[in-house]
Amino acid sequence: MAYPEIKEYLTRAGIRRITRLDETLLETFGQTEGERHIEKLTELFDLSEKRMMFGSEETDYLRRQEELVDYLNQSLEMSLLAASFYDRIFFRKVMEYVVSYGHFEKGDIFDLGCGNGILTCFLALGNPESSVTGLDLSSCALSSAKELADRLQVRNVDFTEPKPPEKKKCGTLFSCRTAHENVPWRTLLEESTMPALTLNEQIRRHEKYAEELSSLMNPQGYLISVERYEDDNAYAGFLHALENAGFSRIRGTHMQFSCRNGDETAVFQAIIMQKA
């Protein structure tokens, strides 16, 4: 796909410009139901922020935002509204990156942390000869993704929950915004009050997840990684952990970009690596 086709794809998928999510919820669902959604989302966002700031003994790190994710993906309509507000520019920039380096895509493709399938379906349409599988922990997100694939008439894509590595592995692993859901971070309160971790400590923090990524791939396969990091010790630790797990960086594929993420500006690092 060329860049003009990205805009067309996002429009077909139902991604549009939204400047105020609360106003759009009221317009879409009406006053009573819209206010109910706003109230519930406010409650779930506050809960997620509390868990990220202070931690939660009864909820492991991987599932600290589970209720929020499920609520935002309770229907494809709701999922697309949220994605339009939070991720419209992010999707476009990731797709432009994928198009620029599409020649590294090979064989079957896994999209780890596929969410509502916007990027997964894009990968499938761009690689019609490949079998593309979207993996996500949220059954609600998977349901929305399947509905989206049907709407877009994408036939070479499937969606399922992640499973322990089996015989089937991929030639290309697309991993987008998954590290912060899978790497054991300290709570935000600890991060702000305790000394910063050294590079070696950051490497150890990321090692298990880097090995999990490697376990999903065939030898010589490509990892397309897009993660929310500053260009700092944390990201360096992630890259070194990937190298320790058998990946090598593809020269000239690293790109840093920033974009609005809801009401904030977020920085992302994209890179392609090959498994030895």
Domains of the chain: 3-275 (3.40.50.150)
| pLDDT < 50 positions in the chain | none
| 8 Å CB contact between 214 and 221 | no
Quote the radius of gyration of the chain (alpha carbons, Å): 18
pLDDT score recorded for residue 164: 54
Phi, psi of 179 (to 5 degrees): -60, -45
CA gap 243, 80 in Å, rounded: 36
For residue 80, which of 151, 139, 178 has the smallest C-alpha distance?
A: 151
User: What tens digit of pLDDT does each residue of 5-51 get?
Assistant: 999 999 999 999 999 999 999 999 999 999 999 999 999 999 888 88
The four Cα atoms 236, 240, 245, 248 give a dihedral, to 10 degrees, of 100
CA gap 232, 82 in Å, rounded: 29
Cβ atoms < 10 Å from Cβ of 199: 13
pLDDT score recorded for residue 59: 66
pLDDT score recorded for residue 194: 85
pLDDT score recorded for residue 264: 76
Which residues, 6+ apart, have CB-to-CB distance to 104 below 8 Å?
Answer: 172, 222, 224, 250, 253, 272
pLDDT score recorded for residue 62: 66
